[in-house]
Structure 1
Amino acid sequence: MSAEKPESSRGARKRSNAISIGEASPSGRSEKHGPDAPEPLGKKEKGQRPPRSVSTGDMPETLQKRYFSSTSKWSGEPAYFTTAQAKEPAFRDQGRRLVTSSDSEEVVRDLVAIARHRGWTNVHLTGSEAFRRAAWLEANRQGLDVRGYRPNERDLQELDRLKLGNDRNSIAPAAVPSVTRESGRDQSQAHERSARSRAAASVGRNERAAQSQLRVIEAVVRTALFDNPEAISRVMKVATTTLQNHVDRGDQIRPALLREGRDRKGLDVAPNRNESSRVHPPVQRSRSR
């Protein structure tokens, strides 16, 4: 008599976690629950359903770059690994089925993305309850018609929150915070104050330079016209008005450099104005008898 096979034979072996391509229900309605259940992807308008692919390796380019792949020598099925050193694959691609031994939400999310990429508007779930629940939530969130899991009330509540989170993920013009506006206003005012300060400093330098020019002009005029006070007054009035006009226009005026002796124009500027205005009497010559 032959020995009986253990219960862990192929018939009693645990079913793998898998997402398979499914068929539309006869009524054309999804198993999604609630009045706000989204319409299945590709069934909104007749004739716009995307092509359904069952080719192994057909997946989004981003996932192809994320996983490391190898092909089985016996079955020819590609397997995808999370790292180059991983022993167990994250999932296997059987064309019409995507099989995994993991309950990871990240892997589930990638499998649903592959199914959507292949145009699977209807999917069938098998495997552990944790896997089927995660796949049901993700597939419903992405608008697929799902069979193989019956959700409870809390599952439906979580799905509603996931959909609400999707609605909130949008791009809109960002409002400028009041702090930023205040900061910009403060910077503008600071620049304006700095500009006014520089302008005032420039005017002050011009005025000081004009005063130094007037002092030199006065020294030269008094030396030349020491005996004509009225002429000195007229010349100084004209010089003062001219320099003031230059200051008002913002012209740059160089300060005068007072030097003893002969200046660059050949004018003799005496170091002492009182001595320069003194009249020396002629030298008296005595006659010899």
Structure 2
Amino acid sequence: MSIGRDILCQKLQVLLDRRRAEGRLYEPGSPDEFEGTVDFGSNDTLSLSASGLLTEAFLHQLERHPHFTIGTNSSRCFEGTKRFILDIERDLAHFHNSEDAIFFGSGYDANSAIFSAIPQPGDFIVFDELVHSSIREGMRLGRAKSISFRHNDSLSLRQRLEEVRDQNSEVAEGKRLVYIPIESIYSMDGDVAPLHEIVKVAYDTLPRGNYILSIDEAHSNGIIGPHGSGVVSLYGLENEFSIRLHTCGKALASSGGTTTHHCSKIDNANISD
């Protein structure tokens, strides 16, 4: 072992010992510790990960597609887009009553991609202060200015939108977009966003319609709405929310994430001015 690695291991051990002494060391439990317990800790809200029916359906799909590629031979920018993925995206768009869909490796990747690639310089993002870190990561990497409003507070949202509109003539004239990302159900407290109020505030403050409502349905997907299609579909607000995120790693007991949207150009949104 090199001297550098020795030093690194020693430093890490000191940090771990300090956290253990302070009661701040997180050590994941072993599978044996959870044997026979009731699951209140995972994201497997429908217990589908242990479903024999899901296993049968998966094996049936493999039989139907004997040439299905288990791995990928490149990113989707090159030759990584397979017919099976396109079929999934078509089916997801139909299921969520949307024009189009894009499948990602995870919901985190999807949120980060949306807010790093789509908002352009001169645009604004007015976001709920408790949105997921993946949205924050996308905003950090992106080129639009971001401003938070108080959690689930439609009055605070109105104030922020009015400030952006009144202080930026291009926004007031409808030449620049304002993105408004929220979550349908917030994971830490389980509270639900006041969707109708948020839609009304956006409509009232930006009457030229130059706003994009975006919603993360990670914790409503699969458990709320028609056939588990989410809170937006429950309220029939599909046309109000231009971008919706759904994950597969929670209620659906799988992996990946998808965005549904009413603009097919989002598929090629790695653009810049």
Q: TM-score, normalised by structure 1?
A: 0.25
Q: TM-score, normalised by structure 2?
A: 0.26
Q: Which has the higher contact order (CA 8 A, sep 6+)?
A: 2
Q: Compare CA radii of gyration and give the structure with the larger one.
A: 1
